[in-house]
């Protein structure tokens, strides 16, 4: 699985049916091809609007839309950037913010978080 946003973008466009060249993706997004190259090489990240368009074009079972958001947020130096789905949920639910703060305060390991998720019935989501 892709380790960076650029890798994900490259893998997802090649996995697309039919496979999509960087130039084809650029045309569909109405951007210049060097922009796609910059994204794939990790030199820049898309705007939120462009990110939504990319997800709409390339998200699939192998590359779900949340993965694009997670890797874009992970690669962004602005600590205020959070994956879109999580951002909406966190803003709307105080209890979720409290749970996240407890997890951070307790310094739970990935394994402990996976166990917690399994205890509430979630077993098919990779937690890193």
Q: Could you state, in order of their start, the residue ranges of all structural domains in the chain?
A: 5-87, 93-119
* CA distance linking residue 78 with residue 69, whole number of Å: 14
Q: Which residues, 6 or more positions from 82, have their beta carbon under 8 angstroms from its beta carbon?
A: 73, 90
Of 78 and 35, the structure prediction assigns the larger pLDDT to 35
pLDDT value, residue 121: 84
pLDDT over threshold 80, residue 81? yes
pLDDT over threshold 90, residue 123? no
- Mean pLDDT throughout 76-102? 90
Dihedral sign from CA coordinates of 10, 77, 80, 111: positive
Q: Which fold has domain 5-87?
A: 434 Repressor (Amino-terminal Domain) (1.10.260)
* CA distance linking residue 26 with residue 33, whole number of Å: 5
pLDDT over threshold 90, residue 10? yes
Over residues 90-120, the pLDDT tens digits come to 999 999 999 999 999 999 999 999 999 888 8
pLDDT over threshold 80, residue 24? yes
* CA distance linking residue 111 with residue 102, whole number of Å: 16
pLDDT value, residue 85: 87
pLDDT over threshold 90, residue 122? no
């Amino acid at each position: 699985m892709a380790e960076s946003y650029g890798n994900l973008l490259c893998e997802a466009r090649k996995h697309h049916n039919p496979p999509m060249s960087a130039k084809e993706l650029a045309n569909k997004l109405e951007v210049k091809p060097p922009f796609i190259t910059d994204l794939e090489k990790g030199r820049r990240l898309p705007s939120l609007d462009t990110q939504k368009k990319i997800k709409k074009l390339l998200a699939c079972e192998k590359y779900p839309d949340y993965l694009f958001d997670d890797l874009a947020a992970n690669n962004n130096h602005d600590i205020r950037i959070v994956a879109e789905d999580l951002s909406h949920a966190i803003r709307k639910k105080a209890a979720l913010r409290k749970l996240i703060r407890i997890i951070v305060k307790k310094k739970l390991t990935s394994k402990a978080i996976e166990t917690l998720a399994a205890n509430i019935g979630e077993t098919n989501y990779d937690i890193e």
